[in-house]
Amino acid sequence: MDPVAFSIFGVDIMWYGVLISLGVLIGVLLALREAKRVGFKEENLLDFLLIAIPTAIVGARAYYVIFSWDYYSQNLNQIINIRNGGLAIHGALILGVIVGYIFCKVRKINIFQLLDIVIPSVSLGQAIGRWGNFINQEAHGGPTDLPWGIIVDGQKVHPTFLYESLLDFSIFIFLIWYRKKKRKTEGEAFALYLILYSMARFFVEGLRTDSLMFLNMRVAQLVSVISIILGIVLFYFLRKNLKTTK
C-alpha cells in the first residue's frame, strides 16, 4: 500500500500521520464525553490536551532518537522528520504524565481523575496508529509460517503491528468497562493500563526485529517490566487509600 495518502500543493500527506491524527481526534472526543459524565471541567481537559498532545509527540520522537542516536548523530537533519514513522509510545507517556502532573498542580486538579479520563483514549489511539506501521512496512516481526503472516520484502513475517493493535483495542474496551462498572477510586484505570499494556508490549516486542536497544536489552521490554511494577504498586496504593469515586 502506498504510504502517501494524498498530496496538498505538492506536499505528500502520509497515512502514518493521518492515522495518528484520527486516533487523537477520536480519543479527544471520547475523553470529553467522559469528562462531562464525571463532572470534570471540559475547559480544563481541553487546556491540558492542547499542551499534552504536542508535548507527547515531542516526547515520542525524542525517546526514539535517543535510543537510535548512532543513526541520527550522522543524520541530524532527520531528527524532526516523523513523516515515515519513528514515534515511541513510551516517550509520549513519560513526558505526557510529567506534563499532566505539572498541569494538575497548577490548576489544583486531581491528577488521577485526569489520567483515568484520558488513558482509554490513549489505548484506542495506539490501536489505530499501529496501522500506520503496517502501511510503512515497519514494526513487524521475524519470519513465520503462520497463515496470518504478512509479506515484507518477499518474506512472510509476524504482523506484530496487528498483534499490538488488537491487544490495545481489547485494553481500551476493558478500561471503558472497568472505569464505569468496577473502579473504586480514581487512578485505577491508569494503573491497570500500565500493567496490561506493558504485559502486551513485552510479548509483542519479543517478536519484533526493529527494537530499540540499550546494553543488549530491548528498551521497550525493560520499560514494560518497570511499568508493570509501577502499575501494581500504584493499584495497591490506591486501594489501600481508598476514596470512592463515580
Please, are residues 115 and 97 in contact by the beta-carbon 8 Å criterion?
yes
Per-residue pLDDT of the chain (246 residues; tens, 9 = 90+): 788 888 888 888 889 889 999 999 999 999 999 999 999 999 999 999 999 999 999 999 999 999 999 999 999 999 998 877 889 999 999 999 999 999 999 999 999 999 999 999 999 999 999 999 899 888 899 999 999 999 998 999 999 999 999 999 999 999 999 999 999 999 999 999 999 999 999 999 999 999 999 888 999 999 999 999 999 999 999 999 876 555
Determine the Cα–Cα distance for residues 49 and 43; give it in Å rounded to an integer. 10
Please, are residues 242 and 185 in contact by the beta-carbon 8 Å criterion?
yes
Asked, for residue 22, whether it belongs to a domain, the answer is yes
Asked, for residue 209, whether it belongs to a domain, the answer is yes
pTM: 0.93
Asked, for residue 225, whether it belongs to a domain, the answer is yes
Determine the Cα–Cα distance for residues 166 and 65; give it in Å rounded to an integer. 27
- What number of residues does the chain have? 246
Determine the Cα–Cα distance for residues 42 and 218; give it in Å rounded to an integer. 39
Asked, for residue 28, whether it belongs to a domain, the answer is yes
The domain in which residue 72 lies consists of 4-240
Please spell the DSSP secondary structure of 135-190, one letter per residue. Answer: HTT-S-B-B---TT-EEETTEEE--HHHHHHHHHHHHHHHHHHHHHHT--STTHHH
Asked, for residue 195, whether it belongs to a domain, the answer is yes
Q: Is 91 exposed, middle or buried (0-12, 13-18, 19+ CB in 10 A)?
A: buried
How many domains is the chain partitioned into structurally?
1
Asked, for residue 245, whether it belongs to a domain, the answer is no
Asked, for residue 246, whether it belongs to a domain, the answer is no
Asked, for residue 11, whether it belongs to a domain, the answer is yes
Determine the Cα–Cα distance for residues 238 and 241; give it in Å rounded to an integer. 5
Enumerate residues 6+ apart whose C-beta is below 8 A from 220: 88, 90, 201, 202, 205, 211, 212
Enumerate residues 6+ apart whose C-beta is below 8 A from 30: 120, 121, 124
